[in-house]
Structure 1
Amino acid sequence: MKTLATSLLAIAAVVFAVAFALQDRYPWLGFVRAAAEGAMVGALADWFAVTALFRHPLGLRIPHTAIIPTRKDEIGESLGEFVETNFLADDVVAGKLGSLDLAGATAGWLAEPENARRVVAEGSGALVGVARLLDDERMRDAIEAVVRTHLIDPPWGPPLGRLGEKVLASGGHREVVDLVLDRVDEWLAAHPEAFATLVSRRLPSWVPSFVDRVVDERLHTEARRFLADVRGDPEHTLRHAIDDALAQLADRLQHDPDTVSRLESAKARAFDDPRIRELAASAWAAARTAAVDALSDPESELRRRAEAALADAARRVAGDPGLRASLNSRINDAALHLVSAYRHDIAGIISETVRGWDAAETTDKIETQVGRDLQFIRINGTVVGALAGVAIYSAATLIATLAR
């Protein structure tokens, strides 16, 4: 395009020279000379304007030339501000997101088994990478330090006490008590021999043996009957005693320094015990290995279930307009929040990127992208200049003729 534009200037110069030399012999060449003269003026003016954007024309440091390399940083900042104001404005983003059914489009895509399989495969690969990263010794040490700082070192007594109070207030512990009572009764029913010598061995030796058996059996029967009474009576004395004991424990965990200290000591001994640490390490290694194996195998039960669950969830979303609308609303709110919070940072990426470019590199990048269109300015200037030259010369000739 540069060659074409420059060639037109050269042609105009040749035509001007020929017409200027012969116009006295052939007066009509005055019109040709005027056109060529105007074409040269337009071509040179637009050449100067286009060149001044990217460099100093003819190497002359004329003021307000080489605009792009000289004001590269300001251009980057202006471009960033333009994007921030016109592309990342809340109303622009909200309007665009509002016209899209992102939840429906995503659900429709994920409903295809092949796409769900692809997502699960990519997610599995990422999780395998995370699991292998966590197996690094330094990473394990860092995780252990974080867990100890935020989970083990803080006192457990008051939080457990407050949790216990809430559980007791809601009555959630009663199911646990019922479960314990059921398990104890089942054990007693399955192990009557546990009472075989519980009392009889303490009786005098002269008591007949059948009395021993009667006493032991009676004790076993009464124990089961007592448990049956407790299980069947929500207001049984034992239940109230258990409630009172648990309430006292919850209160002591919050307000009794001795109870809190004993709990903290037991916690420290448990977590510092080499056997506990070794058991935890072994459990982690086994769980990690099992997870990595399951995630790495495309035919594993875990991945097949994940694929089926993902596709099923997508189909449910795609078939429920209300759910899609709710998800779209949440997506829009999240996107608007992110844009509002990081709009300036996103625009700053543009400014910082342009600022980091070399001036010559920036000039080349921009000229490569828009230079072809800028050369049309030179071509158009040549053509318009020629037309203007002919028009001016014709008007001047007409006025001179009329004046005679």
Structure 2
Amino acid sequence: MAGTPAEAERLAAFKRMRRIATGLLVLMAGVFFAARSLEPFHPGWGYLRAFAEAGMVGGLADWFAVTALFRHPLGLPIPHTAIIPRNKDRIGETLAAFLRDNFLIPAVVARRLSRIDVAGAAGRFLTHPSSGEGRMRRGASRLIGDVVEALDQERLGGMVKSALRGQLEKIDVGPMLGQMLGAMIDSKRHLPLISAGIRWAALTLDDNEHLIRAMVHEKSNSILRWTGLDETLANAIVGGLQKLLIDMDGDPDHALRARVEEGLARLAHDLCHDPEMAERVARMKAELLANPAVSDWIGGLWEQGRKALLAAARDPDAAMAGRLGEALSQFGHTLQDDPLLKRQINRFARRAITGTTSAYGDNIVRLVSDTVRGWEARTITDRVETAVGRDLQYIRINGTLVGGLVGVAIHLVDGLV
């Protein structure tokens, strides 16, 4: 099992140490048989035989102990072997309990977080996105992009659009429009709009002058037509309207402009305080939201937002550029330089994470135990053996060498006695 480069490296190191340990055991066996055959010729070969013999015993004993952790030695169903695969559920529960009792305690989490400057890290992250923390940003961005792409777009889009429509339905449009219009009137920002409306009316009159003349001609009797007075009347109407619009445009104190302003002020008041007007505006809002074009517009907003989020996640450097990047960078400087804001954010982060640990700690450890329980026995055996197998092979090597030294010591004492 070598799913990642790190796992592949650990697996290769484990196999290399296992070959060394097994090779040392085979070497001890060869030395034993050679020394045993040469022992009659010189007493010194007896010490070498004792070293190799005890080394074989120690190496075989440790091989059996290490192998028994993961499988049955030589495939024989010896009792109390294959310990890890037989007890994987209990191992998962024990590991989960260890995490819960030693790491996911609110007091432990709070004490650990008290030494972490969350606001400072966020400030450095926003101020220098291309530094070492940029790797974290790019990793987080890829994760966000993968999550957004993996979500059910139909269901998620429907939820977002329903939420957006629900918020629009909750808005009391009448008072909001009334307050906006009242604020415009108070600050005189409505005057350019009135002037623009007058100019639009003048241009519309010029473009549709022929319609007024045709209407006067149709409404006039035969005498007016015969004498040509209909044309004179039409000219008078058109000229009077043009002069009226020109005077309104040039005179800020024109009486009709004042009437228009009075009408706007009354409209602003009615929008805020007249129940009948509020009901009328609410009905217009409901009809507008029921229009299919508005549904298409809301759907377009969601799709544009999703594409923008994906683009920002896939290219965080571009997302951090421009005005948004400047604003985020400035906020990063503020996070680093403002001690009060930094203290408040760190306190909020500690409370949020500690609260999450307290509320969901059991679910987290249950995830660990359920995951281990769901693994096949072969999977957990391979994972544990790959993780610690290299160190366990050192036990075999040490057992072989230490056993050999003990064998020499016993042989020496036996010779002296």
TM-score, with structure 2 as normaliser: 0.59
Q: CA deviation at 1:282?
A: 6.4
Compared with structure 1, are the counterparts of its residues 34 and 98 closer, same or farther at alpha carbon in structure 2 (3 Å cutoff)?
Answer: same
Say which is worse superposed, 277-286 or 75-84, in terms of deviation: 277-286
Query: Which residues of 2 match residues 107-146 of structure 1 at below 5 A?
Result: 107-112=123-128
Classify the secondary structure of the residue corresponding to 2:383.
helix
Q: Which residue of 2 aligns with 1:343?
A: 361
Go from structure 1 to structure 2 and tell me whether the alpha carbon gap of 1:90 and 1:14 turns closer, same or farther (over 3 Å shift): same
Q: Judging changes above 3 Å, is the alpha-carbon distance between structure 1 residues 62 and 286 closer, same or farther for their aligned structure 2 residues?
A: closer
Q: Find out whether 1:277 has 2:291 as its counterpart.
A: yes
Q: Secondary structure at the match of 1:23?
A: helix
Displacement of 1:105 in angstroms is: 2.0
Q: Against the structure 1 CA distance between its residues 31 and 78, is the aligned structure 2 distance closer, same or farther, given a 3 Å change threshold?
A: same
1:376 aligns with 2:391: no
Q: CA deviation at 1:309?
A: 2.3
Q: Name the CA distance, whole Å, in 2 between partners of 1:284 and 1:327.
A: 34
Match of residue 84 from structure 2: 68
Specify the alignment match of 1:199 in structure 2. Answer: none
CA gap of 1:148–1:329, structure 2 versus 1, over 3 A, is closer
Matched pairs, number:
328
The runs of at least 4 consecutive aligned structure 1 residues that moved more than 4 Å come to 113-120, 136-152, 173-183, 265-270, 285-298
Q: Deviations over 1:320-366 (max 9, x none)?
A: 11211111111111111112212222222322222222212221222
Q: Matched residues in 2 for 1:62 and 1:106: separation? A: 56
1:77 corresponds to: 93
Check the 8 A contact 2:125/2:134 in 1, yes or no. Answer: no
Deviation at 1:179, TM superposition (A): 8.5
Take 2:183 and 2:287, find their aligned partners in 1: how far apart are those partners? 34
Check the 8 A contact 1:113/1:307 in 2, yes or no. Answer: no
1:96 alignment counterpart: 112
Equivalent residue for 1:334? 352
1:235-314 maps to which residues of 2 (within 5 A)? 271=286, 277-278=291-292, 280-281=294-295, 284=298, 304-314=322-332
- In the other structure, the counterpart of 1:56 is 72
Amino acid at match of 1:352: D
**Is the partner of 2:412 in helix, strand or coil?**
helix
Q: 1:277 to 1:11 in 2, by over 3 A?
A: same
State how far apart, in whole Å, the 1-side matches of 2:185 and 2:332 are: 42
Corresponding residue number in structure 1 for 2:45 = 29
Specify whether residues 359 and 314 from structure 1 end up closer, same or farther in structure 2 by C-alpha distance, changes over 3 A only: same
1:13 maps to 2:29 = yes
TM superposition shift of 1:139 = 6.6
Give the TM-score of the pair, scaled to structure 1.
Answer: 0.61
Unpaired runs of 5+ residues, structure 1, are 165-172, 191-220, 232-241, 254-258
**Quick one: which amino acid aligns to residue 286 of structure 2?**
F
Shift of residue 291, structure 1, vs aligned partner: 6.8
TM superposition shift of 1:90: 2.5
What is the RMSD of the two structures over their aligned residues, measured on CA atoms? 5.4
Number of the residue aligned with 1:363: 381
2:340 paired residue number: 322
Partner residue of 1:2 out of 14, 18, 29: 18
Does the 8 Å contact 1:31/1:393 carry over to 2? Answer: yes
For 1:20, give the aligned amino acid: R
| Change in CA separation of 1:110 and 1:345 when aligned onto 2, cut-off 3 Å | same
Deviation, 1:34, is 2.0
Q: How does 1:182-261 map to 2 (within 5 A)?
A: none
CA contact (8 A) 1:294 1:303 kept: no
Of residues 32-41 and 137-146 in structure 1, the stretch that sits farther from structure 2 once superposed is 137-146
2-structure distance, mates of 1:35, 1:89: 52
